[in-house]
Amino acid sequence: MAVLGIGKETYFFVNGLKTLHPIQLREGVSLLPAHCSAGIEEIIQNIRGEVELGITTLLLNKTASQLKIIAEGPKELAIRAWNSQWDILLLNAIFCTEAIALLQSTSPAENFPDKVPLNVTACYIHLPHYTYHIKKKDIEWLSKYYSKAYSLLDNDAFSTAVHSLATYHWHSMPRVQLSILWAGIESLFDIHSEISFRLSLSIAKFLEPSNSAKSIVVYKKVKNLYNYRSKVVHGAPSQPSRETVLATIGLLNLLIKKCITTGALPPKTEKLLFNN
């Protein structure tokens, strides 16, 4: 396991998320370009443990970017390094991607293996199916909204939604994926009765507060998706279609981004409807 409480600087190598330009995410945490082309012999010579060796071999040369974390001292560095996994989850939720950051070092990826210790921070792995390339418009969006997004993680409902969207793909069955995604959606709305109607209405008014025609379209779409969710949760024999899962992913992503841009979670249904 990695030693994160030493020095004033550390790096996490990221798979599944690529940037060509440095991005300041929050105080002491940046996402930087990265590349590593270590040979298998170099990896074998520098990594101990069979599990660690296997994970490093799979991930190191597919490093697409890296988190650089700096602090005034070891204690603050350890805290920021620990919490940086939430940065990965948040970026996954924002971009609907599958990035992971399981390799940590005190030096950038480009320096491996020049006497730089490399650590595996966790011995579980879900390989990203693809790499999301961060675009110029994404950088502009992050510059404007990322600090708001990270501050919202203090709210359990928002962090649940983020975690749901960032990790649903860890499960291969569409039925389970849909259940997890709806757990994230429902966490954002404090609704305990007439759930199908009230939740669909609240989501419609939250996403389209000033356009009645668009609000009706959203309401019908959400209600239809919720019906699929109910069948899945209550034991329907067939798996939901990929299209249903993708539509639910898109809905949760829209809700999370709307929370971020407004800097707040959705109001109660009554306030959404009557603005009181």
Residue 255 has pLDDT above 80, yes or no: yes
Of 24-28, 108-112, 195-199, give the range with the top mean pLDDT.
24-28
pLDDT at 121 over 70: yes
Q: Which pLDDT value is given to residue 6? A: 64
- For residue range 161-188, what is the model confidence (pLDDT) as tens digits? 999 999 999 998 888 999 999 999 999 9
Asked if pLDDT for residue 276 goes beyond 60, the answer is no
pLDDT at 198 exceeding the cut of 60: yes
Give the confidence band of 112 by pLDDT, cuts at 50, 70, 90: confident
| pLDDT over 90 percentage in the chain | 63
Q: Which pLDDT score is estimated for 200?
A: 92
What's the confidence (pLDDT) of residue 208? 92
The overall pTM is greater than 0.75: yes
Work out the mean pLDDT of the chain and round it to a whole number: 90
The confidence score (pLDDT) of residue 115 equals 64
| Interval 36-87: pLDDT, tens | 888 888 888 778 788 888 888 889 999 999 999 999 999 999 999 999 999 9
Residue 138 confidence (pLDDT): 98
Label each residue of the chain as H, E or C: CCCCCCCCEEEEEEECEECCCCEEEECCEEEEECCCCCCHHHHHHHCCCHHHHHHHHHHHHHCCEEEEEECCCHHHHHHHHHHHHHHHHHHHHHHCCCCEEEEEECCCHHHCCCCCCEEECCCCCCCCCCCEECCHHHHHHHHHHHHHHHHHCCCHHHHHHHHHHHHHHHCCCHHHHHHHHHHHHHHCCCCCCCHHHHHHHHHHHHHCCCCHHHHHHHHHHHHHHHHHHHHHHCCCCCCCCHHHHHHHHHHHHHHHHHHHHHCCCCCCHHHHHHCC
pLDDT at 236: 66
Apex CA 229: angle with CA 274 and CA 157, to 5°?
Answer: 55
Between 81 and 195, whose confidence is greater?
Answer: 81
Task: Give me the pLDDT at residue 49, please.
Answer: 82
pLDDT at 2: 45
Q: Please report which confidence band the pLDDT of residue 1 belongs to, taking 50, 70 and 90 as the band edges.
A: very low
Which segment of 35-39, 131-135, 224-228, 252-256 scores lowest on mean pLDDT?
A: 35-39
